[in-house]
Structure 1
Amino acid sequence: MKGLLAVAWDIDGTLIDSEPLHHRALLAASTAHGVDLSGDPKDRFVGVHMNDVWTALQPLYPPSLSRERWQTAINRFYCEAASSLEPMPNARRVIETLSGLGVPQICVSNSGRAVVDANIARLGIAPFLAGAISLDDLTNGKPAPEGYLLAAQRLGVPAQAVLAVEDSGTGLAAARAAGLSTAGFVPDGGALPGADRQIRRLDELLDWFA
């Protein structure tokens, strides 16, 4: 891929194996408010905007539970266990290497600020980033393009020269709508339709910036 000048990273499932903890945090917060979701498929809400998760589950919760209290409870459970998270293979090395090459990088996430900060701290990548955009910074999260448009603006790079690295169709749709180049991260060897390129390992993209 030619003409690339910067990278915009998704976090959950791309840089860090966080989906199991997201699931446990949702279960714990729900149990604390009298709702047992243990029988639900673990992937029921993978890649789903938290506003949509709330809409789906709100009828099950006590009427007194607000959206804000619910999200705060989830974030608390998640952040308390963030030290147990496993980075994806080569994630930190790739980001550090790109930084050494002078490639500006930013993270774009559908998670709230507390979770984004916990993930970045666990990865140890803050010194190599130009910043991180969370759902709290946006009016509309992925699949809307707002986050990636803001990322290109903050990087000071034309959108088409920014490589978005995503592991979900939702994130890929957001990046494409914003006009970014895209790499679909499919470590299991599957496919992410619509991505400009598919990668199984994060270090594959280093060749595009060498």
Structure 2
Amino acid sequence: MFEAIAWDVDGTLVDSEPLHHVALMAVSRRYGVTVKPDDDRFVGVAMGDVWRVLSKEYPSGLTRDVWLEEIVEAYIEHAPRLKPIPGACEAVAAFHKAGVAQCCVSNSARRIVETNLAAVGLDGMVLFSVVREDVEEGKPDPAPYALACARLGKRPDSVMAIEDSAVGAESARRAGLSVLQFGLDFDDFSSIALTISETRVSA
């Protein structure tokens, strides 16, 4: 039985992956680097890891911190176009109503996570978010989910992680959590919400 839920954000709660790519393409173009619209190398990957891949192509004077800030600003600029993953908000709301502790665990920067949750009205339903700035290593390292469990005050085996990417699922499993992967283990968020009536949740 699970006692809490740790949600991934990008691609799980919010259809944000296209916007992340738009921001990456825009900033890269600014520095003469072409990232193609169909380049899927960076789906679910922490931006620090994206930088390690692309930095050799950028001008030598561009720093990681400046690049990251420009990515965030480009993303937030286009935030009004963000949409929730169908059914995800309803599932979070159902668990919230049932009193299930929920948090978010993301490879994105704090400002992006806060923007995502606010854009789809979920910022008031989760206790906290573990973001890229909170850990030395992002997903697939187990550190983000381990920190989430510590903050929840829960054993990892009592927390359910809900992810959409193999990178995120690996992170959660390595931290000892059970995982449901959107698009692999389930395709309909209503099936998750139904577990409220099927599972007794203990505090």
Q: TM-score, normalised by structure 2?
A: 0.93
Q: Whole-Å Cα distance in 2 between the matches of residues 181 and 171 of structure 1?
A: 12
Q: Whole-Å Cα distance in 1 between the matches of residues 82 and 97 of structure 2?
A: 25
Residue of structure 2 in register with 1:9 after alignment: 7
**Following superposition of structure 1 onto structure 2, how do residues 41-120 of structure 1 map, counting pairs within 5 Å?**
41-120=38-117
For structure 2, the 5+ residue unaligned runs are: 198-203
Residue of structure 2 in register with 1:132 after alignment: 129
Residue of structure 2 in register with 1:36 after alignment: 34
Could you report, residue by residue, the CA deviation over 1:138-178 in whole angstroms, capped at 9, with x for unpaired residues?
11110111111111111122211111001111101110011
* Percent identity over paired residues: 42
Q: Which has the higher contact order (CA 8 A, sep 6+)?
A: 2
Query: Partner of 1:130: helix, strand, or coil?
Result: coil
Could you report, residue by residue, the CA deviation over 1:70-96 in whole angstroms, capped at 9, with x for unpaired residues?
111111010111110110011211111
Query: Partner of 1:63: helix, strand, or coil?
Result: coil
How far did residue 32 of structure 1 move?
1.5
Residue of structure 1 in register with 2:188 after alignment: 201
Q: Report the AA paired with residue 114 of structure 2.
A: D
- Residue 24 of structure 2, aligned match among 11, 23, 26: 26
Q: Report the AA paired with residue 37 of structure 1.
A: V
- Residue 182 of structure 2, aligned match among 180, 185, 198: 185
Q: Whole-Å Cα distance in 2 between the matches of residues 156 and 207 of structure 1?
A: 25
Could you report, residue by residue, the CA deviation over 1:108-155 in whole angstroms, capped at 9, with x for unpaired residues?
000111111110111211111111111011111101111111111111
Q: Report the AA paired with residue 54 of structure 2.
A: L
Residue of structure 1 in register with 2:157 after alignment: 160
Q: TM-score, normalised by structure 1?
A: 0.90
Matched residue count: 197
